[in-house]
Chain A
């Protein structure tokens, strides 16, 4: 038969000298040999090639080998007849999707006034209350928190371990409500024979000995917002008076880190990168080597274009270069079977190893919802109190029509720009909130970040290949892959960090 064949959407690359291919449609990674690498390069043509013609052009003594290699490539979908690459199908079956994580915004107040804050800054989603209308409650009540927890247990039927995450404002301004929600969740878990875990993000300014003890006792996953050393941190993270918050939080962070127990959950730092503040390596060294954080995650500040704290294109390039440098450090740890605290790369390599292929960029609206202080359900914690993005209330449940509409619009099949991108399985269009702040459409793909995401994914794949070629069992341990199940099993980050 004379059908023409060509390569499907893929990213071919070398990790050191070893050739690999990342097949986008399936999110699978394969190590190539010289023949398959040559075949993939040759068949990467718009019109395709007729296999018999190609084979006839190869030296006769190599023909059988080439034919066998071609069969393998076709069998795994890396080369297919022109026009037969499976198209992305629209979302199905997301209705009544059971929840796994509920993020409780226990307060919308904060004792800091960070200049780049999306909740209070120029890009906030919350509309100011109309004249005469009641303002939103600043604090969640115990009753709303307990009702939220009940809602989670009811809606999460059939799901594995549940997570209650606390967020703000400054979360610890409402510590009593956190305490009551935790007690309620533990009681329900005991009663129903289910597992529940807790997580919290805080600016650390209210970490008292009592709070620290509570977080350790209940095995909280703790994320602390800190931007680096004193100079770096105080640049944006200030009290309302204008005084930087670093000196205030440092002893409290040290106390929390000192209270960690062996085998307990890691304590992470979350760094916001802003204009002129892209010293990733320096920040990482300070937070991990000097302060002793287990993990550091870096996030570019979310901002509309033109804000003075927004990252410029050259800033993004600096961040990528620094990520590359830090990835060398990560690799040294991987070769020595040590865990590393660069959590952006840990997450990316985990997803690549599992072959995660995202239909939606994140769990927002799917397995995760945010709850406002008054019990309104939002797509995630970043969207609570944005009336436009409400999808129900903890007392009445999820508005499935609104949720279904959002999920259909946010599905990868609806993002035409993503259809030709090799990095689609890990990105899927990127953060809804980032997209909303940029374009006022939460389901639009974040096109301003495409080049960066492709470079970052490509770096992750290269790192992945290097570990695969030299110390492959590290990847299984990083993912918490359980061979007895015969299938990949995703485990919460916190449980997958103890590497021998």
Chain B
């Protein structure tokens, strides 16, 4: 009996250790339910939920006489290509520069801030989503205008002043980083086979027909598959908000310099109809992607990252899938679809080697570097120059997400100290019927504008006004920052 007890104890101890080991791993694989679970687990390597910090070439020593440029980035998906190009540069460059790349995907902004305050900041940082109010106003990043103006080749390849976006990378005439790529606006990804079963061959251009299509597919599926799927991770942003944008509805009134959510009511109401036809669960993005690949629903919507997801991370082989523009409210395009510019680098003001740091940035954004990068399909080109230089047949399904003529970058809205839930949460709660839509809109208008007024009064933000604002070309206006 004692031996049996010892055996049982040993088995339990091993089980516990195994459980703990599983918990301690860096992978946080999110499986989906049912048959999709395996696919979702496999997908974890590129999931949105992962977060790791890795130092490439951590044991690398700096060769004598060389200048070490430390580069931090939060992009992990392109690490293989970037590291390969860095290795090549470290061997071949004649400026005696050695680049060391560190990938930080957890708490990136705070890590930079902590390093800056502690005197251990890198020379160059990936600046894809660094807010200017936190990194430029505080002096962490330096303006790059002088370097850019002196480098004609760089200007030809990157068109920096064409892609200077108010409050994103450009402020008060200063450019703090330059984008060399972009993520497309949201598209509809659809299962062609399931659409055909219900008699559809293309995605409608208006929400009313889109809802009818989703409902028809759900009815035809009779519980085995559904018309549409929504994720639990920012679901409002992934279809309805973007549909509102192209219908001319935006949450910030640039002309009057205040928040205005009153235009969202019809989109919330259409959303309520869509939810009635949707897959019953709203899980994480990776889980829902896995369910889409398992044909649990026919319509999914997300931006150009889905090209890589559905070709390599969760490859779709059992059915044909298409990509289409999202529907507007009535089929007319009255506003721009928001795109996310990406792949930018900035120089930290404490860098002792700012000239060398610029050379590294110029290399990262050189034609040779970008051609391979873009042809590998890591992102879409943002400049006309690079668009003309790459062979788009090499980018695979990313070509389906090419820039639409009504896509643009919106000026950064004042970032306020909001009390309570943000608008995406509240409007989705209205879609789900947890709150009344009219009350939700009134509540958002009150809370956001109170926060804006209060923050402007305290001096923590300025009111953005663009008197010549054009919803179809939001980046084209002239910005004014008011202190009242």
A-B interaction: no
- Chain A interface residues toward B at CB < 8 A: none
- Chain B interface residues toward A at CB < 8 A: none
